[in-house]
Amino acid sequence: MRWYEEISRAEKRALWSCFAGWGLDGVDTQLFSLVIPTLLATWGIGKGQAGLIGGATLVAGALGGLLAGALSDRIGRVRALQITVIWFSLFTFLSAFAQNFEQLLVLKALQGLGFGGEWTAGAVLLSETINARHRGKAMGIVQSAWGFGWAGAVILYTVVFSWVSPEWAWRVLFAAGVLPALLVIYLRRNVEEPARDRSHANGIRDKQGSVRTAASIFHPSIIRTTVVGALIGLGAHGGYHAITTWLPTYLKTERHLSVLDTGGYLAVVIVAFILGCFLSAWLQDRIGRRRNVILFAICCAVTVNMYVFLPIGDTAMLILSFPLGFFAAGIPATLGALFNELYPQAIRGTGVGFCYNFGRIVSATFPVLIGHMSNSMPLGAALGIDAGIAYGLVVLAALLLPEPTRKRTTGPAVVVSETPVPTSK
C-alpha cells in the first residue's frame, strides 16, 4: 500500500467517499434479491412479477447513469454525486412503505435511477481527483466495495430476519436504506470539486467555434471512441447477465447440483469478487487498461465454458466458482478508469455514462438469446456460446481501441475545428 501513502488527503477523501457510496448501493440493491422469497410468500406474487421489479430497477439504473453523467458535466461531479445518493436513499426508504406490487415496482424503478447515477458520478469524480499513476488501483478498490456491500447485505438480512417477523423484516431492511443519505453530509464538508480546465471553453468546438456538450460524444472526431467503448460495455454486461441469469438454472436443472443453495457457495463468490477487483486494480496500472480488460475477458469465457462443458460435481463446481467470480470482477473494475481516460473533461461524464450504461440496457438481449437458443440445443451449450460471444466482443472492441493515455484527466479539452479557436484571456 505504498501508493496509498503517496496520494494526498483530498484524494483519500474522494476515494473513501466513493467506496462508501458504492458499497452502500451494493447493500441496498442486494437486499432485494434476498427478500424475494419473503415477498412471494407475503404478497402472493409470482416469480415473473418479482423478476419484473428487478428488471425495471436495472433498466432504470442504466437510464440514471446516462442522466447523471450529463448532469455531472453541467453542475459538477460532487453535486451530481450528492443528488444521486439522496435520490437513491429516499426511494429505498419509501420502498419500505409499499402496500402492493405496483407501488413497489414504481419505487424500485425510481430507486434504480439513483443507483445507476451514483456509479457514473462517483467514477468521474474519482478519476479526476486521483493521481494518474494510481487511478486504476483506486477505481478497482472502489469497485470491490460492491462485494463488501453484498456481504453486508447478507449479514444485515440474517440479523434482521432473526429478530423481526418476515412480514415486517423486509420493510425494516428497506427503511435502513435511508442511511446512505448521511454520506451527503460528508461529501459537502470534505470532498472538493475537481479543478475544471477552461481551455477552449472546456469543451469540444465545431467548425463555427460554438461549444458542444452532450452531443459531442457523437462528433465525427470522437464517435469511433464512443462506439467502441459502448461495445466493450455491451460485451462486459452481456456476459455478466448471461452468467447470473442462466448459470444457476443450468446447474440446478441439468446438472442437479445442490451446492448452489449453501452459504459456502455464496461466500466463495463474494470473496472471489473482492479479490478479483484487487488484482485488477493493481494489474491495470501495470499492463494498461486495454490489456487488462482483454485478459479478464478471455479468462471469463474460458471459465464459463469449463462450467458448462466439463462433467463436474458439487465439489468441483464450488472450486470453479472462485475463478468465475474472480475473473468476472476484473472487467468492471477496469471500466471506470478505461472510459474516463477516453474523453476530454467537458464531456467526460456524458461519455462514461453512455459507454457503461448503453451496454447495461442492450445487454438484456443476451439472456433472451440464450432462452431462444436453448429451444434447439442444450441450455449449457447455449450459455457457453452466448458468453463466448459477449466476452469475445469485449476482446475485439478493446483491440480496436488505443491504450488510453494515463494523464491527469483534468487535461486540455479536445478541439475539433479545422483551425485553432482563440480563447479569451
Q: How many CB atoms lie within 10 A of CB 8?
A: 11
- Give residue 416's pLDDT: 35
CB 127 within 8 A of CB 336: yes
In this predicted structure, the answer to whether residue 196 has a pLDDT above a threshold of 70 is no
**Residue range 265-293: mean pLDDT, rounded:** 89
The pTM score is: 0.79
**What does the mean pLDDT of the chain come to?**
81
Q: Given this model, what pLDDT does residue 406 score?
A: 54
The whole-angstrom separation of Cα 80 and Cα 71 is: 6
Query: What are the residue ranges of helices labelled H in 217-262?
Result: 223-253
Please give the Cα distance from 102 to 253 (Å, whole number): 31
Read off the amino acid at residue 298: I
Residue 404, amino acid: P
Asked whether 75 and 66 are in contact (CB, 8 A), the reply is no
Candidates 145, 89, 152; CA nearest to 117 is 89
3-state class of 100 per DSSP? Answer: coil
Quote the CA–CA distance of 68 and 117 in Å, as a whole number.
5
Structural domains present in the chain: 1-192 (1.20.1250.20), 195-419 (1.20.1250.20)
Asked whether residue 24 carries a pLDDT value surpassing 60, the answer given is yes
The whole-angstrom separation of Cα 302 and Cα 217 is: 34
pLDDT in tens, 323-375: 988 998 889 889 988 998 888 888 888 888 899 888 888 887 787 788 788 78
C-alpha cell read off for 201: 471553453
The mean-pLDDT minimum among 216-225, 255-264, 375-384 falls in: 255-264
Specify the range with the lowest mean pLDDT, choosing from 24-28, 173-177, 313-317: 313-317
pLDDT, mean of residues 26-32: 80
Angle between helix 223-253 and helix 379-399 axes, rounded to 10 deg: 160
Look up residue 247 and give its three cell numbers.
448459470
Q: What is the pLDDT of residue 203?
A: 46
H-run or E-run covering 139: helix 135-163
Question: Does position 245 have pLDDT exceeding 80, yes or no?
Answer: no
Q: What is the average pLDDT across 384-408? A: 82
In degrees rounded to 5, what are phi and psi of residue 321?
-65, -25
Tell me which of 57 and 300 has the higher pLDDT: 300
**Structure-model confidence comparison of residues 251 and 73, the more confident one:** 73
Q: Is the pLDDT of residue 318 over 70?
A: yes
Q: Please give the average per-residue pLDDT across 193-206, as a whole number.
A: 55
How many alpha carbons fall within 13 Å on the CB side of residue 59?
Answer: 12
Whether residue 90 has pLDDT greater than 70:
yes
Q: Is the pLDDT of residue 33 over 80?
A: no
Mean pLDDT of 309-333: 83
Can you state the angle between helices 9-43 and 101-129, rounded to 10 degrees? 170
- For residue 29, what pLDDT is reported? 75
- Report residue 307 CA to chain centroid gap: 24
Q: Give the torsion sign (CA, 66, 71, 77, 82).
A: negative
Structure-block grid coordinates of residue 417: 475545428
* Amino acid found at 165: S
Whether the pLDDT of residue 200 is over 50: the answer is no
**Rounded to an integer, what distance in angstroms lies between the CA atom of residue 61 and that of residue 77?**
18
- On the question of pLDDT at 136 being above 90, the answer is no
**What local confidence, expressed as pLDDT, does residue 30 receive?**
79
d(CA 81, CA 72): 8
Mean pLDDT calculated for residue range 395-415: 63
Q: Return d(Cα 324, Cα 191) in angstroms, integer.
A: 36
Residue 261 clears pLDDT 70, i.e. is over it: no
Contact (Cβ atoms closer than 8 angstroms) between residue 170 and residue 38: yes
Cell numbers that stand for 374 in this block: 436453448
Rounded to an integer, the average pLDDT of 120-129 is 88
Q: Which amino acid is at 309?
A: F
**Which residues make beta-bridge pairs with 212?**
204
